[in-house]
Amino acid sequence: MLSFPHSFLSIVFTITSFLLLLPPSQAQLNSTFYSTTCPNVSNIVSTVIQQALQSDPRIGASLIRLHFHDCFVQGCDGSTLLDNKNGSIQSEKDAAPNTNSTRGFDVVDNIKTAVESSCPGVVSCADILALAAQSAVSLAGGPSWNVLLGRRDSLTANQAGANTSIPAPFEPLTNLTAKFSAVGLNVTDLVALSGAHTFGRAQCRLFINRLYNFSGSGGPDPTLNATYLATLRQICPQNGSGFVVANLDLTTPDTFDSNYFSNLQSNEGLLQSDQELFSSSGAPTVPIVNLFSSNQSAFFESFVQSIIKMGNISPLTGSNGEIRANCRRVNGS
């Protein structure tokens, strides 16, 4: 039988103990995180969203967008929800991709209030966004999935990061691919997550260049279906308000389905960033659009995998961050 000196065994024990004390990684997010501390959290989130949908059919799409914009900026940490605080917080809400655009913060507040009344101090705002995204998709006829949980909330916002990291609706495919790649998401993730534009609305100012003066040409985007162009010009006249909204999916605007991809095949994608997925000749996104258009189950399966993957971007876990009492501000402020 081999024997080891006491000093060697002490070193092994010390190293093992140190490894056990390392902070949990993102792999330790799990779907049963609140099973004993807040077992009804999913139902609470869904109930509040169902109530909000009665008066605001867009709210599901708005909530999933908050989760997306949160995860792309310093990870899925609820930073997108923080309001300005003089000297300490420059809100991401004032970044160019978010200002006068992101919405649904009042519904997040209502969810947080309902969750706090049932399980005070337990569920993070970052996890509320992940749960809200799932409920929004499911309630609109899309797939359901077990949301991985255990994120904690940031103590900071990153307005500069929001300005540079969030994909823009008028960016070419190369830029979109690079921004997804920067957070560990691939081309399939890009196409699947873009499929969230199967519901919701977009403001005229985000695509009006496609209608009248695309890339300085003095004419419309040549990839835009002529009939669809005429419809959009009625909604968004050249000198009209940039804040009027149009449906992202002209066929089933409030339903989560694969029609978004069929629309792209008909050159009826609303945003440049949508249509480029199909109209960029030879791009690796084109066959994926074709697959999802013809096979809704394949889209749903990929979407679930991709949104879970997105939800795993750099979460705060263990003792990092905090559980905010109010999603709009860090505790004690």
Enter the DSSP assignment of 191: H
List the Cα angle 281/285/286 in 5-degree steps. 55
Known binding residues for Ca(2+) are 70, 73, 75, 77, 79, 92, 198, 249, 252, 257
Binding-site members are 70, 73, 75, 77, 79, 92, 167, 197-198, 249, 252, 257
Cα separation, 203 vs 236, in Å, equals 9
Told to judge if 67 belongs to the known catalytic residues of this protein, a careful annotator would answer no
Selected catalytic residue, list 67, 69, 93, 112: 69
Q: Which residues are annotated as a binding site for heme b?
A: 197
Exposure letters 142-161 (e unless 16+ CB within 10 A, then b): bbebebbbbbbbbbebbbee
* 126 C-beta neighbours (distance < 10 Å), count: 31
Choose among 121, 95, 104: nearest CA to 38: 121
Q: How far apart are CA 125 and CA 159, in angstroms?
A: 18
**Residue 151 in tokens:** 């994120």
Active site positions, annotated: 69
